[in-house]
């Protein structure tokens, strides 16, 4: 509340409107005393509207300095727990993609386990959407470290990554050959500190916490915003991070990679 009241000090025009409203209300009261009821009603009505508008504007989060800083970073929404995002919302985002959908994560289990995912993916590929999956390399040290952390959530992370790669690779093989190039899979060997679902011009970004299962990670909805020349927003930072992971630390999954790295019992599941 104190932050909201700060708006009256940082936006003097709001205070001026409030004072004008109060003055008009007082004038309306004087008109009542001298027997001018019509003028009293008009002045009081206008004054009351101005005062109410000033109060609403002053208490609005749109005038909160912290709110503006939040928006200037490019954050549209925040989610305390990404598992609270409804599955059909992820489906709508994927089906709504017009250019690309780039997914950086560990095993992408929420995508692969969703009933709607195969149809939504194939529909996007047929429409020419470029879909890219970046999985944490199941053979890298970071994957084994994350696996040790995930044992508290009763999750076999290595198997989960392998199962997801096999599943998405199978979906890719089922797509007509002329659309198959729209779906690319990579494995990366770098610190899995965050996950990013980048769809056209917005991102859902999660930050992994070593003491919790990834599915419960906090998430941010980030969009590009205009900034000063020397100022960066979160959208640009996460985009740069994703591109660097793909360019510097990732290996594309192909037939040879599948044959070499997926155990036979997983590859033939």
Q: Are residues 254 and 139 in the same domain?
A: yes
Shared domain for 173 and 237, answered yes or no, is yes
Can you read off the two tokens belonging to residue 190? 């770098």
209-240 pLDDT per residue, tens: 766 666 667 888 899 887 666 667 888 888 99
Strands (E), 139-260: 183-188, 194-199, 202-207, 219-222, 250-252
115 with 171, same domain: the answer is: yes
Residue 17 has pLDDT above 60, yes or no: no
Are residues 176 and 98 part of one domain? yes
What's the whole-model pTM score? 0.71
DSSP 216-247: G--EEEE------TT---HHHHHHHHHHHHHH
Domain shared by 135 and 242, yes or no: yes
Mean pLDDT of 195-206: 92
**Mind listing the pLDDT tens digit for each residue in 115-172?**
889 999 999 999 999 999 999 999 999 999 888 877 766 778 899 999 999 999 999 9
Same domain, yes or no: 160 and 195: yes
Q: Does residue 200 carry a pLDDT above 90?
A: yes
Q: Which of 34-43, 49-58, 254-263 has the lowest mean pLDDT?
A: 49-58
pLDDT computed for residue 2 by the predictor? 40
Same domain, 128 and 56: no
What pLDDT, on the 0 to 100 scale, is given for residue 53?
55
What is the pLDDT at residue 193? 83
Same domain for 123 and 182, yes or no, is yes
Long-range (24+ apart) CB contacts under 8 A made by 11-17 are 11/57, 11/58, 11/63, 14/54, 14/57, 14/58, 14/63, 15/54, 17/50, 17/51, 17/53, 17/54, 17/57
**CA–CA dist 269, 166 (Å, integer):** 8
- The sign of the CA dihedral 147, 207, 111, 83 is positive
Residues 49 and 146 in one domain: no
Identify the helix (H) or strand (E) that includes residue 104.
Answer: strand 100-104
Domain count, the chain: 2
Residue 102: pLDDT above 90? yes
Q: State which of 22, 45, 64 marks the end of a domain.
A: 64
Domain that holds residue 25: 2-64
């Amino acid at each position: 509340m104190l932050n909201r009241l700060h708006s009256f000090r940082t936006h003097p025009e709001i205070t001026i409107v409030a004072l004008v409203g109060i003055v008009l209300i007082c004038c309306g009261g004087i008109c009542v005393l001298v027997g001018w009821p019509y003028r009293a009603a008009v002045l009081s009505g206008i004054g009351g509207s101005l005062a109410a508008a000033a109060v609403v504007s002053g208490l609005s989060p749109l005038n909160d300095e912290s709110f503006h800083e939040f928006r200037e970073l490019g954050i549209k929404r925040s989610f305390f727990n990404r598992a609270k995002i409804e599955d059909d919302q992820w489906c709508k985002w994927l089906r709504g993609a017009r250019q690309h959908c780039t997914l950086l994560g560990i095993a992408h289990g929420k995508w692969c386990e969703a009933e709607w995912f195969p149809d939504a993916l194939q529909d996007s590929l047929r429409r020419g959407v470029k879909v890219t999956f970046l999985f944490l390399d199941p053979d890298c040290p970071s994957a084994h470290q994350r696996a040790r952390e995930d044992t508290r959530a009763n999750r076999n992370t290595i198997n989960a990554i392998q199962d997801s790669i096999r599943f998405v690779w199978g979906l890719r093989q089922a797509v007509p050959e002329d659309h198959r190039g729209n779906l690319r899979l990579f494995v990366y060997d770098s610190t899995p500190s965050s996950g990013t679902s980048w769809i056209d011009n917005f991102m859902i970004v999660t930050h992994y916490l070593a003491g919790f299962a990834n599915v419960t990670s906090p998430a941010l909805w980030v969009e590009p915003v205009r900034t000063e020349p020397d100022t960066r927003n979160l959208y640009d930072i996460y985009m740069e991070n994703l591109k660097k992971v793909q360019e510097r630390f990732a290996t594309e999954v192909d037939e040879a990679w599948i044959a070499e790295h997926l155990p036979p019992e997983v590859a033939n599941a």
